[in-house]
Structure 1
């Protein structure tokens, strides 16, 4: 009876036999534990292209800021209205020494008086100006101010060094600081005591020692010495934000606009505000004690520059900032996807090579590039839908066909849909991002623990192939 033997081994030229099959890796290198380690290492490597995406995002954001600055230079920048103030210059002449050493020194000083009451009203129309694919909220509004200056109190022109005081009564002026006077669209005049009208001149006058821009109007001595009421109006253009200083001892500010996305900021927030889809209305009341400064000051520049209050005309979605925040979650985003693929691989019996994991990760990184590119043209919401849908469909088909399982494809589609939806919610709810992210991470770990409970992580219990038996 013939013996059944295995196929003969090939012989080399020296007559020795050699196996035609390539040597196999040790079983431990094919274990799930090693696979998880390689997937983790691959996830860390994918942070390198993620960094390049972040650099691309920063470059595009800088480009957008540059274009916005160009629009602002042409239209008008962020406007700050600081005033009006009544500035009265005077000198103190100090004589020192005797005889031939006698010296005469003149010190130039300025007293600033604040209005007893100041009421500022603004009606602001906002629109978006575009240049290329970028845009910037710009505004044009009518600003009106009215109030009253009291007569200067006694004792405000006092010598500091024992010198002689001389008041420049004919050089007193009302000064209003405006951060970008180029954006004034009309001449500005101040009406005094509901009768006399005085035109403003460019510059800060006696308060121009330090940098700044504004307008000034001379006030006759017989008017400012007795106190006077005033009102003025200006047509002002600007962009991004509008601020005002609480220049009055008691200041009332009312702003209304057709922009539905205001961001109130500054030293004081509005007491009342109403925001609708058609715009907003806001009211501030700052009393004398809350302002925290005296009724008069001796200065040589505009006061209250650090106590501005106002509103920013916020863009509904600053997608550069939003995408930048989402990139911080990239490692968790990729890890959850790899985890889902790994579990499906362990349960399907088909092998998913680590290079295939890398391709899936690269598709997820391209999602960020697509999101940035499309958001610049069609807006963040629609761009997110296009980029997320493309990445989900591609990975679902790829994983499903690679694992020879339609169910695996549907599972990956469901997992990625949940991940993208969660990421979108995280970006919309910035205040709750950490809370939502921590809950999702805990849930992912819990699901992984129970789904992989029966996996042989060492790979040593895998069934071994039976040896060829010889029959006689």
Structure 2
């Protein structure tokens, strides 16, 4: 009896090793460990997503360079700033101690604003292409009309108690223009509806320092026309027709004490920008109409300045001829959601695996994640050729079908494949909506994340995370 008991009794240390080994293997194969591995894999997939982001930025910079080339040939962003009446004068005064008096002469420049300025513009926009890239360019027919009032008697005041000498015959009317090279006709200054004076190149005694144009490889300048003394001293009405090319945007300065701007265009996607927004605007599929009114007080500048720069370069108003979707920015922004996008997909696969009788190896999770990274590359590549919407449909459809079939066949379940198809279609649909609704992206994303987590919590409620139940089942069925 004693011999039989001793023969059947397991050895102490060996029995402990044999029992601990299966438990350790069971722990490694448990859902909890797999869940942690999937989380680590999700973060590792951020590395290729960063490389995709670098690729998007590189293509975006390439598109900007091509846009600069087109702008150099056609015309850059236009800024029409003026007209201003510029009158140079000097002040002569004496300075120093009484026994060593010396005479100083200071050159000064008075800049007068129009009492009234009316700007009307008809802008015809088209897309110019170079290789696979395009840039909105336009031809603008603009008319500036208004009036200058007679200068006040005390306008030229001495600062140092000296005498003033006004160079009345040197007065010029100056207009700052963003890209003078893109003027398409000769420009003449109409005075009081009778006389016409041709403009000369250059902004006279004033400088234009704007760097607003992202596609500019030249220095902004302007045009000027001489105004006879007898004309500007009593005040005059003016009319200036302009025809010029440009690209991307057009801006105007509220140069008048009261300024009215009325623009119309055949471009259906305007982006109103600048220091003042239009009072009225109508946007249709065939174009837009917009009108601005800027009163004297809203402009915040007196009727006359002494300056060597063209005024109001930081208070322009205008419109950008934007494309419906800047897909480079959109794709770059969507990559910020990549970790959440991949996490939701992995959660869906994990839940389907736990509810099926088949295992989905972590290598297979990695392949699914890489297919989602490739989705972004496909989206970028197709968008450059067929546009963002069709490219998104193509890339998302390919990724959805591929992963739905792969998950369904791997888990030996048609239902799992259909569920994966629905999940991925929903995820891609939500991502598309997030990119369209920038203002609500955070709100939508947070709600979706909460709902996805809640569903996962309740669906996985009965999962044996430690794997002990399977281990106990195997122990119960093993022979004594």
TM over 0.5, shorter chain: yes
Q: Give the Å deviation of 1:110.
A: 0.8
Q: Give the Å deviation of 1:397.
A: 1.0
Aligned to 1:130: 129
Q: Quick check: 1:250–1:285 contact (8 Å CA) kept in 2?
A: yes
The secondary structure found in structure 1 opposite 2:205 is helix
Q: Quick check: 2:179–2:220 contact (8 Å CA) kept in 1?
A: no
Q: Quick check: 2:116–2:258 contact (8 Å CA) kept in 1?
A: yes
Residues 25 and 105 of structure 1, relative CA distance in 2, 3 Å threshold: same
In 1, distance between residues paired with 2:59 and 2:475? 58
Q: Give the Å deviation of 1:94.
A: 2.2
The runs of 5 or more residues in structure 2 that have no matched partner are: 1-17, 210-218
Aligned to 2:372: 364
Aligned to 2:474: 464
Q: Give the Å deviation of 1:179.
A: 1.0
Of the three residues 387, 392, 397, the one matched with 2:395 is: 387
Q: Give the Å deviation of 1:458.
A: 1.0
Aligned pairs (5 A) from 1:7-22 = none
Q: Quick check: 2:208–2:310 contact (8 Å CA) kept in 1?
A: no
Query: Residue by residue, what CA displacement relative to the aligned partner does 1:159-205 show, whole Å, maximum 9, x if unpaired?
Result: 11122210000000100000110010001001101111000000111
In 1, distance between residues paired with 2:35 and 2:96? 90
Of the three residues 422, 434, 440, the one matched with 2:430 is: 422
| RMSD of equivalent CA atoms | 1.7
In 1, distance between residues paired with 2:205 and 2:40? 67
Aligned pairs (5 A) from 1:87-106 = 87-97=86-96, 101-106=100-105
Of the three residues 299, 307, 327, the one matched with 1:299 is: 307
Aligned to 1:29: 28
Of the three residues 405, 410, 417, the one matched with 2:418 is: 410
In 2, distance between residues paired with 1:443 and 1:349? 26
Matched, 1:326 2:326: no
The secondary structure found in structure 2 opposite 1:328 is helix
TM-score, scaled to structure 2: 0.91
Aligned to 1:11: none
TM-score, scaled to structure 1: 0.93
The runs of 5 or more residues in structure 1 that have no matched partner are: 1-18
In 2, distance between residues paired with 1:207 and 1:163? 25
Aligned to 2:250: 242
Q: Give the Å deviation of 1:97.
A: 3.6
In 1, distance between residues paired with 2:478 and 2:310? 98
Aligned to 1:255: 263
Aligned to 1:158: 157
Q: Give the Å deviation of 1:349.
A: 1.3
Aligned to 1:432: 440
Q: Give the Å deviation of 1:98.
A: 6.5
Aligned to 2:353: 345
Aligned residues: 450
Aligned to 1:184: 183
